[in-house]
Structure formats: C-alpha cells, structure tokens
Amino acid sequence: MILGCSGPILTPEERAFYQGEQPWGFILFGRNISEPAQIFDLVAALRDSVGRDVPVLIDQEGGRVQRIRSPILSPYPSGQALGDLYRRDRDMGLRAAWLMSRLHAFDLLKFGINVDCLPVLDVPVEGSSNVIGNRAYGGDPVTVTEMGRAAVEGLKAGGVLPVMKHMPGHGRGFADSHHELPVVGASLAELEAHDFPPFVALKDELMAMTCHVVFTAIDSQNPATTSRKVIDDIIRGYIGFNGLLLSDDTSMNALSGTIGERAANIVAAGCDIVLHCNGVMDEMKQVVRNVPALSGLSLARARAVEAAFGRGDGAEEAAIRAEFDALFAVA
C-alpha cells in the first residue's frame, strides 16, 4: 500500500502506525505542504518512520493539478497548453514536455520526493468530464503518446520515476470519479483505436495507475480498478503492461463498499499496490486489515521500481529553466 498523512507534520500516532504497518510508499497532497523546509522535514520523517528509503509520490502535473504551488514553486502550464505548443510546432512541443518534466525532477528531488504521478495518458472525447479536461495533452492518441513519452523521459533524466495514469484510459468518462462512477459504453474496437494506444506505446514503464471507470464492453459490473477482467485481459494482456500497478485513490466515491472492502477488491482484482490518499487514520486501519504483504510478482515489480532510482543527468537547472521559459515566451 501507499498511504497519505493528515497534515504538514507527522503525528505520534501516524509515526507509530507507519512503523508497525510498513507501507511500501507515501503520497503527498496540498494539505501536507506549507513551506520548503517543512516539506523536506516531512518527507524525511515519513522515511524515518519506516526505517527505509521508500518511494514518496506526488501529483505534480502542472496546470490545476500541482500540489506544490507558488510561492514555493512557480506555476507550470497544463498538459493542454503543452499540447497546444505541440500542435503549432511538434518539435517545440516535445521539447517543452521534456523540459517541464526535467524541471519537475529538479523541484521534487530538493524535497526528497522521487516519484511524480505523470504523465496523464488519457485521451478525452468531446463532452467528457472535466476531471481530465485540460490535464490531457490532446484529443488524439498520437499527440498524447508522443507528449507522454517526452514527459516520461524528462522525469527519468532527472532521477524521478513516472507513474502513467489512468490505465486503461479515463478520457471517455462523463462523470468525475472522485464523486461518482463513470460508465463508458464504447466498443472494444473504439477503445483499442482511441484510448489504449498511449498505454500500449509506453507499456515498458515501471509504474501505472488504474482508473475508476466501468468499460461495459469488457466488464459491465466493475470499474477497472476492481475488475479482474480489465486487469488481466486489457492491462496485462492487450496493453502488455508488466510493471507495478497502483490503484487510483481508494477513498474516491466511484468505488463502492467500505474502505476495507474496496481495498480487498483492489487486491483481488490484481492491482499490486492499494493507494489511499486522505490520511484519515480510521480509513488507513481498514486498508491495512485488507491488504497482504507484497509477495510473488507484485514484490518483484516493486523491487524493480526500487532498483531503478538513480542519479540525474547532471544538467544545470538554470539552463533548463531558461530554455523552457524561452519556449513559452515565444509560443
């Protein structure tokens, strides 16, 4: 499991809980952010609580999904803004996506954060929910694939690992899965042509996050996160992703049942890691009662991620930032 915490400083109860339960990693949200030294200290405290150099994740996309904001970090453009640049000049857009991810890596590693939940590989359709909206690079799979690959490479060049999301695709959701369950009625052929290609192209990356979306052509009863059929037949089968599969947040209302039941269903469906983000202690206790220790293929996938953390490419931050700023100054 990957867990959140309640605020900017670990409570004694949280520290003892994490020490006893040993989550595989942690994730930060806006409630955990106040100022630079505090972020660094919190990340260090999380790792100290489990006695290991565990992965620490964040959603630092740019645009409206940027957990560490001004004045701590400058605002970055949305995926759509990057995509607009790509549509005007392909090479310039790809370079901008790489540079922005490289800057994310500079920013995050200063605080000890070493995983960014990026890129967004969802391909929206007309009229779909704004939950993805301008987070997407574009409305066609080629744009999303090329920009997503550039973003992935930029993060890795800086020593930060990416998490692709939201597999096998949230772009057709006409509801916000934070609040209700989206149901997609597109045919399998439509999904294979439009929604799945970015994930197929980047299937060799080490981590991906599921979507809480029902695809009626595959499994009319269960969202992808808790669907053994979607995970086995599509994510592991058709897409061919063999990396570490994280659920989207267990506390999102697209999922049904108690938090404990949701966690159990996520594991039973074939996800390797249960993600629980809100830091509510009673909910985290339900999660841990229903999540087994990592073993077998899941453990091997987790170890592959841990082994992949490395040093950056030695690039100079000032030069990367100046080049990125110049691209948008002339855009």
Q: Is the dihedral of CA 208, 211, 216, 219 positive or negative?
A: positive
Burial class (CB in 10 A: 0-12, 13-18, 19+), 194: buried
SS3 187: coil
Candidate list 116, 248, 249, 272, residue with the active-site label: 248
Among residues 112, 97, 114, which one has the least CA distance to residue 38? 112
CB–CB of 163/249 below 8 Å? no
Candidate list 84, 176, 178, 233, residue with the active-site label: 178
Tell me how far apart the alpha carbons of residues 159 and 311 are, in angstroms, rounded to a whole number. 5
Active site residue 178: yes
Q: What is the DSSP letter of 11?
A: -
Sequence-separated (6 or more) residues with CB below 8 Å from residue 81: 62, 63, 134
Rg (CA), the chain: 19
88: Cα separation from own chain's centroid: 28
- Dig out the tokens for 265 from the structure: 């269903």
Q: How many CB atoms lie within 10 A of CB 237?
A: 12
Tell me how far apart the alpha carbons of residues 272 and 263 are, in angstroms, rounded to a whole number. 11
H-type alpha helices, 125-258: 141-157, 188-190, 197-201, 228-229
Phi, psi at 219, each rounded to 5°: -150, 105
SS3 309: coil
Active site residues: 178, 248
